[in-house]
Amino acid sequence: MTPAANPDSLLVIVPAFNEQDAIAGVVQSVHQHVPGVPVLVIDDCSADDTILAARQAGAEVLALPYHLGLGGCVQAGYKLAYELGFEYVIRVDGDGQHDPRDIPRIFEKLKSSGCEMVIGSRFVVENGSRTGAVRSLGIRFFRLVLRPILGKPVHDPTSGFVGVNRKALGVFSRTFPLEYPEIEALVVLQRRRFRFEEVPCAMHPRTTGRSSITALKSLYYIFHVLMGVFVNVLKFDRRALRAPRRRPPGSGAGG
């Protein structure tokens, strides 16, 4: 898996933990909808045959020596992608909830907008995606919290269906939240004056395995993410202060 000397080289990374029933379908679907794009499954030390299933489906596998959790798992993929010289990386979850048909749209948005991150969002337009009541409440809460921090609304802050360009890849390969990384990652980018966009995406209900966020963990999740958000907000970043604030395209004349 080596990126051609191609300014648009794309890698699809798939963090997976005990997803032997779903992973092959995800890899095959990615190959079907973005042919020729390498797929890297990052196995977070699964106890089942996730690695074997991923390899048989045609994916490269980065096998972690012990369970690091989602953040450490995704960051390992970002590190390898950065080292291998990829320009763009799109993350698709290994449980089959993300629809690989949306990958080309995220990729196009990454290239055309020039922003550092594109989020595949369930809520930009109504697309029939359903979330549980507790999760839905959590998403609404974090939308409110993030709005003043990010300076613009984010419809789906907990979405793991994200694409990043090489600039963001460089940052994430050095700094990436370890637990529940999606929301904190937005704040990490904001501290560097990076931009993000959202594109509408569909989300399938989980067919195999279980979500890592149980009802009991939801409270811990909210507390942990809030702490992470505010700690990142309080971090003093000299580089960000020195860098001139970038004006988003189409935000007015002048400058």
Interface contacts to another protein, rule CB under 8 A = 1, 42, 60-66, 68, 72, 75-76, 79-80, 83, 178
Comparing CB distances to another protein, the nearer of 215 and 234 is: 234
Distance, CA of 97 to CA of 130 (rounded, Å): 12
- Shortest Å, Cβ 66 to another protein: 6
> Distance from CA of residue 27 to its chain's centroid?
17
Comparing CB distances to another protein, the nearer of 26 and 73 is: 73
Comparing CB distances to another protein, the nearer of 83 and 126 is: 83
Alpha helices in the chain (DSSP H): 23-33, 50-56, 70-84, 103-113, 133-150, 166-174, 181-191, 215-234, 238-242
Residue 98 β-bridge partners: 203
Residue 199 β-bridge partners: 120
Comparing CB distances to another protein, the nearer of 157 and 181 is: 181
> Are 146 and 157 within 8 A, CB to CB?
yes
Place of tokens 């460089």: 170
- Shortest Å, Cβ 247 to another protein: 36
- Shortest Å, Cβ 25 to another protein: 23
Comparing CB distances to another protein, the nearer of 75 and 158 is: 75
Buried/exposed code over 199-222 (b: 16+ C-beta within 10 A; e: otherwise):
bbbebeeeeebeeebeeeeeeebb
- Shortest Å, Cβ 70 to another protein: 12
- Shortest Å, Cβ 121 to another protein: 28
Comparing CB distances to another protein, the nearer of 80 and 199 is: 80
> Are 87 and 8 within 8 A, CB to CB?
yes
- Shortest Å, Cβ 156 to another protein: 27
Distance, CA of 126 to CA of 123 (rounded, Å): 6
